[in-house]
């Protein structure tokens, strides 16, 4: 008897954001339909998990409870309390690791501590990992003689009002079927070129499985085994790419490893010296960043892709995050909160790792003094400007030569492309050279301390 308990109060200050709630609604709807096809149904409740589960067990006569563990600190606390209460209530309890390939608590260095650098972590447990094949989907599920009461999914009010989700609806198919299709498409069309294409936001070069993985619609084990199976096929010419992809999937393991061992890092820097970093409070610039109106085309394209589809390409996530933290000197926590609310794949471990990596304040992070230049990043990874044209249509007629630095384009070129800087498209909100110098001075100040 599958049960979903919606329990925002148990999410430890990280209640699923607006885009994630949209995904969750549709994911649960798809799950309920899949279960009905197997002769079962999804029981939906809202409230305190222990009370709800005990009530469900009492009214249905259930004698045991099973679940896959989640590894966010609040989920670990909640699981432990639920387990304790159910055992005391006379139920049997069994839980499993279906969400990760490794157990964050079990992988340790030879000294018995957590890993802080990705490559040794990968070498120790990723490189030779054989997670075994996933179990097949059951053909039927036995139904209990007494079904407990269930709320409607609509009553959870996960969908936003008014509805601003048309861009997400066009981009995604939440649920198991959408996840399987996405994996299949990726294996067929992009895996063999992943190494070359996954850094190119203008191409469909990555798997786009992040939200499906986050919501447990597909397991990392299933993805891992499917990729390895492709690698073993005769004539498969993308072994290097497939290896690169497995390594990328393993960053998710590393993220959970770090969050497990350093649970405070969702809100505080791992490296202590960053606690006194002189962040600026600048609401106007933060708003310009959130709305994709910074005047830097690659940044604006990414922020608008995020706002419209709930997702952003990984390379562009790094560029926009660096822009916020270094060019604007606004704290990574402000950026992480915005991503939390707007990403369909918002994930506490991955988001924390991504922001601390960019901010230079986490484990195995990019050094703070390495400041991304948004113009050269755009020119390198979106060389024809196609990605920018897709998301910043007001620059659509600019030639590639100027599309990543429109403020430098000759007047005649701007006129021909119908671009008026400051009117049809904003001028840059900072001078990158000066902003870089300011960021380095701020960094030097905490190093001196
Ligand atoms: C500032 C910042 C914030 C981020 N926030 C999130 C987030 O909230 N949720 C999230 O899932 N990812 C996050 N990422 C990581 C990464 O950008 C996304 O996982 C990736 O873009 C998802 O697209 P994909 O599925 O096509 O990735 P692929 O390239 O196809 O990778 C496959 C899977 O591997 C995992 N993965 C890939 N790269 C990373 C990484 N760097 N760290 C951890 N796992 C990774 C993801 O589960 C991903 O779905 C963030 C990165 C940055 C720089």
Are residues 69 and 189 part of one domain?
A: no
* Confidence (pTM): 0.97
Residue 62 CB less than 6 A away from ligand 1: no
- Looking at residue 190, the DSSP 8-state letter turns out to be T
Are residues 111 and 183 part of one domain?
A: yes
Over residues 76-81, mean pLDDT: 97
Confidence of residue 410 (pLDDT cuts 50, 70, 90): very high
Closest CA to 31 of 19, 50, 20, 44: 44
Task: List b or e across 250-259, with b for residues whose CB sees 16 or more CB atoms inside 10 angstroms.
Answer: bbbbbbbbbb
Are residues 183 and 110 part of one domain?
A: yes
Cα angle value 198/191/311 (rounded, 5°):
45
pLDDT tens track for 33-67: 999 999 999 999 999 999 999 999 999 999 999 99
Q: Is 217 inside any structural domain?
A: yes
Least confident span in 129-138, 279-288, 293-302, 399-408: 129-138
Q: Quick one: tokens of 433?
A: 């050279």
Residue 251 CB less than 6 A away from ligand 1: yes
Are residues 188 and 75 part of one domain?
A: no
Least confident span in 139-143, 265-269, 275-279: 139-143
- State in Å: Cα 98 to ligand 1 middle: 19
> What is the structure's pLDDT at 218?
97
Are residues 310 and 277 part of one domain?
A: yes
Closest CA to 6 of 23, 24, 18, 22: 24
Q: Is 406 inside any structural domain?
A: yes
Are residues 345 and 301 part of one domain?
A: yes
> What is the structure's pLDDT at 44?
98
Confidence of residue 386 (pLDDT cuts 50, 70, 90): very high
Report the CATH number that the domain containing residue 108 is assigned in CATH.
Answer: 1.25.40.80
97 is catalytic: no
How many distinct structural domains can be found in the chain?
A: 3
Are residues 325 and 395 part of one domain?
A: yes
- The alpha-helical segments, DSSP class H, found in 174-238 are 176-189, 194-197, 210-214, 220-232
Residue 421 phi, psi (nearest 5): -65, 130
Domain boundary among 261, 287, 304: 261
Q: Is 102 inside any structural domain?
A: yes
Residue indicated by tokens 């922020």: 303
Atom 12, ligand 1: residue with shortest CA distance:
350
Are residues 396 and 338 part of one domain?
A: yes
Report the CATH number that the domain containing residue 41 is assigned in CATH.
Answer: 3.40.50.620
Residue indicated by tokens 């402000």: 334
Confidence of residue 76 (pLDDT cuts 50, 70, 90): very high
Closest CA to 23 of 153, 116, 151, 138: 153
Are residues 346 and 378 part of one domain?
A: yes
Mutate-to-test residue for ligand 1 from 314, 316, 319, highest number of ligand atoms within 8 A of CB: 314
448 has pLDDT over 90 = no
319 has pLDDT over 80 = yes
Atom 51, ligand 1: residue with shortest CA distance:
354
Are residues 422 and 387 part of one domain?
A: yes
Residue 208 CB less than 6 A away from ligand 1: yes
Atom 46, ligand 1: residue with shortest CA distance:
210
Q: Is 168 inside any structural domain?
A: no
Are residues 293 and 235 part of one domain?
A: no
Catalytic residue among 332, 338, 357, 402: 332
Three-state secondary structure call for residue 333? helix
Q: Is 158 inside any structural domain?
A: no
Instruction: Return the ligand 1 atom nearest residue 317 CA.
Output: 53
Report the CATH number that the domain containing residue 431 is assigned in CATH.
Answer: 1.10.579.10
230 has pLDDT over 90 = yes
Confidence of residue 449 (pLDDT cuts 50, 70, 90): confident
Atom 29, ligand 1: residue with shortest CA distance:
206
Q: Is 107 inside any structural domain?
A: yes
Q: Is 141 inside any structural domain?
A: no
- The alpha-helical segments, DSSP class H, found in 404-431 are 411-416
% of the chain at pLDDT higher than 70: 100
Q: What is the mean pLDDT of the chain?
A: 96
Are residues 425 and 285 part of one domain?
A: yes
Residue 186 CB less than 6 A away from ligand 1: no
Over residues 261-265, mean pLDDT: 97
Q: Is 143 inside any structural domain?
A: no
Domain residues for the domain of 304 are 272-448
- State in Å: Cα 141 to ligand 1 middle: 34
Query: How crowded is the C-beta side of 168, counted as CA atoms within 13 Å?
Result: 24
Residue 343 CB less than 6 A away from ligand 1: yes
> What is the structure's pLDDT at 366?
84
Residue 206 CB less than 6 A away from ligand 1: yes
Domain boundary among 45, 73, 96: 96
> What is the structure's pLDDT at 365?
83
Domain boundary among 261, 282, 301: 261
pLDDT tens track for 85-127: 999 999 999 999 999 999 999 999 999 999 999 999 999 999 8
Residue indicated by tokens 């006379």: 90
- State in Å: Cα 210 to ligand 1 middle: 6
pLDDT tens track for 118-151: 999 999 999 889 999 998 889 999 889 899 999 9
């Amino acid at each position: 008897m599958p049960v979903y308990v919606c329990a925002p109060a148990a999410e430890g200050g990280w209640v699923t954001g607006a885009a994630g709630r949209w995904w969750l609604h549709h994911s649960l709807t798809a799950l309920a339909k899949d279960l009905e096809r197997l002769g079962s149904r999804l029981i939906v409740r809202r409230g305190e998990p222990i009370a709800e589960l005990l009530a469900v067990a009492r009214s249905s006569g259930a004698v045991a409870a099973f679940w896959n563990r989640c590894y966010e600190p609040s989920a670990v606390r909640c699981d432990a309390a639920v387990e304790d209460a159910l055992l005391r209530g006379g139920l049997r309890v069994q839980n499993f690791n279906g969400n990760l390939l490794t157990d964050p608590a079990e992988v340790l260095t030879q000294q018995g501590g957590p890993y802080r650098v990705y490559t040794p972590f990968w070498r120790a447990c990723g490189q030779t990992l054989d997670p075994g094949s996933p179990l097949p989907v059951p053909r039927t599920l036995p139904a209990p003689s007494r079904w407990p009461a269930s709320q409607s999914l609509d009553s959870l009010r996960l969908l936003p009002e008014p509805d601003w989700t048309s861009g997400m609806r066009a981009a995604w198919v939440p649920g198991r079927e959408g996840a399987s299709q996405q994996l299949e498409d990726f294996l067929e069309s992009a895996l063999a070129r992943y190494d070359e294409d996954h850094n190119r936001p203008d191409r469909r070069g990555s798997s786009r499985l992040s939200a499906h993985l986050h919501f447990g619609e597909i397991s990392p084990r299933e993805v891992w085994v499917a990729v390895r199976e492709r690698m073993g096929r005769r004539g498969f010419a993308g072994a290097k790419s497939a290896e690169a992809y497995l390594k990328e999937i393993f960053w998710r393991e590393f993220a959970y490893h770090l969050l497990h061992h350093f649970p405070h890092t969702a809100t505080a820097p791992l490296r202590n010296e960053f606690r006194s970093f002189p962040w600026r409070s600048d609401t106007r610039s933060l708003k310009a960043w959130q709305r994709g109106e910074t005047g830097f085309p690659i940044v604006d394209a990414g922020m608008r892709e995020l706002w419209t589809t709930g997702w952003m390409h990984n390379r562009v996530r790094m560029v926009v995050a660096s822009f916020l933290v270094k060019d604007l000197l606004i704290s990574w926590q402000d950026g992480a909160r915005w991503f939390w609310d707007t990403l369909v794949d918002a994930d506490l471990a991955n988001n924390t790792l991504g922001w601390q990596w960019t901010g230079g304040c986490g484990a195995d992070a990019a050094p703070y003094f390495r400041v991304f230049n948004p113009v050269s990043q755009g020119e390198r990874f979106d060389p024809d400007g196609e990605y920018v044209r897709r998301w910043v249509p007001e620059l659509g007629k600019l030639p590639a030569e100027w599309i990543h630095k429109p403020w430098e384009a000759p007047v005649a070129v701007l006129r021909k492309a119908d671009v008026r800087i400051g009117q049809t498209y904003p001028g840059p909100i900072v001078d990158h050279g000066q902003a870089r110098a300011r960021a380095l001075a701020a960094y030097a100040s905490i190093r001196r301390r």
